[in-house]
Amino acid sequence: MKKRSKRFPDALKATRHLTRVDALLGDLIKEVGGIKIELDPTETVYESLASSIIYQQLHGKAAAAILARFKTLCGKGGRFPHPKAVITARVPALRKTGLSGSKIQALKDLSEKVLSKSVPDRKLAHKMTDQELIEAFSSVRGVGPWTAQMLLIFTLGRTDVLPIGDYGVRRGYAAVYGKKQMPKPKELEALGTKWSPYRTAASWYFWRALEIERYKKIKFED
């Protein structure tokens, strides 16, 4: 069954704003075209975070196989497991799915925090700021600010997220602006103030820049 999806909010407003405030970024936007971020409105915060934990440091196919076994063990009818089922699942059984000990601990911690509401669901998340959500998601074992920011972008569709520690965003920025060194995270944060309130779109375009052949060949100084 095909997942429902929706387009990223304010995409046209974002490209117009970025083109107006930043000529080089505007040129990149013309070359790349419109924003192509598809959101899944049916995916819960819990599912997104649990999947992120499982996929950490693994190739896609291996992680997908582990996720499928995890669903079979703890879920019903191929559906994503309920947090209670993960909490009560025995560690040896979870290990047989291919999960490491640290990931099992992370998934159980996530499940407990979802049930206690310290990790918000979608409804509550809509009432919270980006920073409040990053702090809440990062409270989960094994989840850091970068993972939290990816959830804000690709699950919740937040429009003003700039993952300043992301290698691809930093490298893409340096390539587009002809810099010999990638900006430090704090430097990128300061540079990015002019892209607000559409820093998510700017980040996406810097990721796309690395798919352009002339930028792939650039080597940066340490």
Residue extents of the structural domains in the chain = 6-37+161-216, 45-154
Average pLDDT across the chain, whole number: 93
Structure confidence at residue 31 (pLDDT) = 95
Question: What would the pLDDT profile of 73-95 be if each residue is shown by its tens digit?
Answer: 999 887 899 999 999 999 999 99
Angle of the 11-21 helix axis to the 199-209 helix axis, nearest 10: 80
Cα–Cα distances in angstroms (integers) from residue 73 to residues 67, 124, 185, in the given order: 10, 29, 41
Helices (H), 75-198: 83-88, 91-96, 101-115, 122-125, 130-138, 145-154, 167-176, 185-191
Class of domain 6-37+161-216 (CATH, top level): mainly alpha
Cis peptide before 197 (omega within 30 of 0): yes
Residue type, 215: Y
In total, the chain counts a number of residues equal to: 222
Q: What share of the chain is helix, strand, coil (3-state, %, to 5)?
A: 60, 0, 40
Model confidence at 166: pLDDT above 70? yes
- Residue 30: the pLDDT is 96
Q: Does position 3 have pLDDT exceeding 70, yes or no?
A: no
Q: What is d(CA 69, CA 96) in angstroms, rounded to the nearest whole number? A: 9
The pTM for the full model equals 0.89
Q: If you ran DSSP here, which 8-state letter would residue 2 be given?
A: P
Class level of CATH domain 45-154: mainly alpha
Coil vs helix vs strand at 194 = helix
Q: Which residue has the higher pLDDT, 205 or 38?
A: 205
pLDDT at 205 over 80: yes
Query: Among 4-13, 47-56, 131-140, 187-196, which is the least confidently predicted range?
Result: 4-13
Confidence at 5, pLDDT banded by 50, 70, 90: low
The rounded distance, in Å, linking the Cα atoms of 31 and 25 is 10
- Do 128 and 134 contact (CB within 8 A), yes or no? no
Over residues 138-152, the mean pLDDT reads 95
- Give the three-state DSSP class for 38: strand
Residue 107 contacts residue 99 (beta carbons within 8 Å): yes
Cβ pair 31, 212 in contact under 8 A? yes
| In the predicted structure, residue 59 carries a pLDDT above the cut 90 | no
Do the beta carbons of residue 173 and residue 182 sit within 8 Å?
yes
Greater pLDDT, 177 or 5:
177
pLDDT of amino acid 222: 56
What pLDDT score was predicted for residue 2? 43
The span from the CA of 87 to the CA of 156, in Å, is 25
Looking at per-residue pLDDT, the higher value among 218 and 83 belongs to: 83
Amino acid 1: pLDDT: 39
* CA-only gyration radius of the chain, Å: 19
182-203 pLDDT, tens digit per residue, is: 999 999 999 999 999 999 999 9
Tell me the average pLDDT across 26-43. 92
